[in-house]
């Protein structure tokens, strides 16, 4: 059984890819196999991060590999003897991590002088409001906040320039103040913050008053155009919008409204990676705004406790051009957040008996955890693997 030919190995990979309808095909399964080979024993989250594939997909592929005896049942999992033999036959055995070990492949490393800033931000976060998941909020870690400030320094915006934060549940405004305080250098000439949440704005105001930080706070629904006093004022902008094409267009339009006119203004755009088709839509929106990509760092943003995106997102460095203009001049009325766009139920298949069940708001099981706890209503078994979203 181990003497499989390369062709039957590839057929096996293609079979697994087909079983979970994996867009990335057999190369995606290969990448997951390789990641298990290199990182084992590895939690699903680590495999997702290494391969760039979404967590539920990695989980589903893992289940397929387990059902074929290639991956062990223990968690975190490692390849079985058969799995290792397959990895050897596929030539994915190389034990070499090309990511820079210092920065983890993130380009920017936090210098030790800023460890204190990370610590202080952690304490400030603990006192702040929680994330509102209905607004697609998931809070970035203290390290990510400091790295975002370093990215503004690297772009030449800080020290000395002005920054508009379009939405700031991530408290980047506070991070600019804390990093400046630790370095003993006032970093920004002006920090503008536009957010809908008075809880967040109050928290920023309280924290900023203890630092030497000039923040300009505006409670505002970003569906509405930027208030006149903030338009055309800033050297640079930053946003971590709702992770939809519509969220991208709207939030980046508001950023553009806030920037001083002219080309080559910096925008730092954070986003949770999606599948290739959704990314195509998002990138069409960015180009439609007349913005060019100047850099893009995968896994730059780490978020606390956001499962579906494997807790990371990229940072895209954008520049304005002569043709940059807001695409949403008036009030925006359409869908915006993931929950508004997305069907609320997904079909799950019992791996034991192949029966399929819808899971999610309005279905018999609210989450796959509920379904797992109850067991398959047909055969009493499981586990379950995610299929397509249910059309509404």
Binding interface with a second copy (CB under 8 A): 23-25, 27-28, 30-31, 34, 51-52, 90-94, 96, 98-103, 105-109, 111, 113, 150-151, 153-154, 156-161, 183, 185-187, 189, 235, 262-265, 276-277, 279-280, 283-284, 287, 290, 292-298, 314, 319-323
Smallest gap from residue 359 Cβ to a second copy (A): 26
**What distance in Å separates the CA atoms of residue 84 and residue 41, rounded to the nearest whole number?**
13
Q: Minimum distance between the CB of residue 258 and a second copy, rounded to whole angstroms?
A: 15
Which are the contacts of 297, defined by CB distance < 8 A and separation ≥ 6? 106, 107, 108, 314, 315
- Which 3 state secondary structure label does DSSP give 261? coil
Structure tokens at 48: 């997702």
Cα separation, 202 vs 68, whole angstroms? 54
31, 36, 42, 45 alpha-carbon torsion, rounded to 10°: 20
CA separation for the pair 275, 148 (Å, rounded): 24
Q: How far is the CB of 153 from a second copy (least distance, A)?
A: 5
Closest CB to a second copy among 106 and 171? 106
CB nearer to a second copy: give 37 or 220: 37
**Rounded Cα gap, residues 219 and 247, in angstroms:** 18
- CB of residue 378 vs a second copy: minimum separation in angstroms? 33
Identify whether the C-beta of residue 304 lies closer than 8 Å to the C-beta of residue 313: no
Closest separation between CB of residue 332 and a second copy, Å?
Answer: 23
Nearer to a second copy, 159 or 225 (CB): 159
The CA-CA-CA angle for residues 385, 272, 279, to 5°, reads 85
Q: Count CB neighbours of 134 within 10 A.
A: 10
Q: Which is nearer to a second copy, 52 or 129 (CB)?
A: 52
CB of 132 to a second copy, least distance (A): 29
Beta-sheet pairing, 236-239 with 266-271: parallel
- 125 vs 187, which CB is nearer to a second copy? 187
Closer to a second copy by CB, 298 or 341: give it. Answer: 298
SS3 385: strand
Least CB distance to a second copy at residue 203 (A): 26
Closest to a second copy by CB, 61 vs 157, is 157
């Amino acid at each position: 059984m181990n003497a499989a030919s390369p062709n039957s190995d590839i057929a096996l990979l293609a079979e697994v890819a087909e079983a979970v309808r994996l867009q990335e095909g057999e190369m995606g399964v290969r990448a997951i196999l390789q990641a298990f080979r290199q990182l084992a024993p590895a939690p699903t989250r680590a495999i997702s991060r290494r391969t760039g594939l979404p967590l539920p997909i990695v989980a589903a592929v893992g289940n397929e590999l387990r059902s074929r005896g290639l991956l062990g049942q223990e968690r975190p999992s490692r390849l079985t003897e058969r799995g290792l033999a397959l990895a050897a036959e596929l030539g994915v055995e190389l034990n070499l991590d090309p990511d820079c070990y210092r920065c983890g492949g993130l380009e920017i490393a936090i210098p030790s002088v800023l460890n204190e800033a990370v610590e202080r931000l952690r304490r400030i976060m603990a006192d702040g409001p929680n994330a509102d998941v209905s607004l697609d909020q998931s809070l970035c870690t203290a390290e990510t906040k400091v790295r975002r400030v370093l990215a503004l320094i690297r772009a030449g915006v800080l020290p000395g320039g002005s920054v508009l934060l379009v939405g700031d549940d991530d408290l980047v405004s506070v991070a600019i103040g804390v990093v400046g305080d630790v370095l003993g250098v006032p970093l920004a000439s002006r920090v503008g913050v536009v957010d809908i949440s008075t809880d967040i704005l109050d928290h920023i105001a309280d924290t900023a008053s203890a630092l030497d930080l000039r923040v300009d706070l505006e409670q505002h629904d970003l569906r509405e155009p930027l208030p006149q006093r903030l338009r055309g004022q800033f050297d640079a902008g930053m946003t971590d919008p709702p992770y939809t094409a519509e969220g991208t267009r709207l939030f980046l339009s508001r950023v553009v409204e806030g920037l001083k006119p002219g080309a080559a203004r910096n925008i730092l755009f954070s986003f949770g990676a999606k599948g290739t088709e959704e990314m195509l839509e998002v990138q069409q929106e960015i180009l439609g705004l007349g913005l060019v990509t100047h850099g893009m760092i995968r896994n730059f943003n780490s978020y606390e406790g956001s499962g579906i995106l494997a807790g990371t997102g990229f940072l895209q460095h954008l520049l304005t051009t002569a043709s940059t203009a807001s695409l949403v001049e008036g009030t925006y009325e359409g869908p915006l957040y993931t929950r508004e766009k997305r069907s609320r139920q997904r079909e799950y298949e019992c791996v034991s008996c192949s029966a399929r069940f819808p899971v999610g708001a309005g279905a018999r099981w609210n989450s796959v955890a509920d379904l797992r706890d109850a067991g398959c209503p047909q055969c009493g078994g499981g586990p379950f693997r995610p299929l397509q979203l249910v059309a509404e």
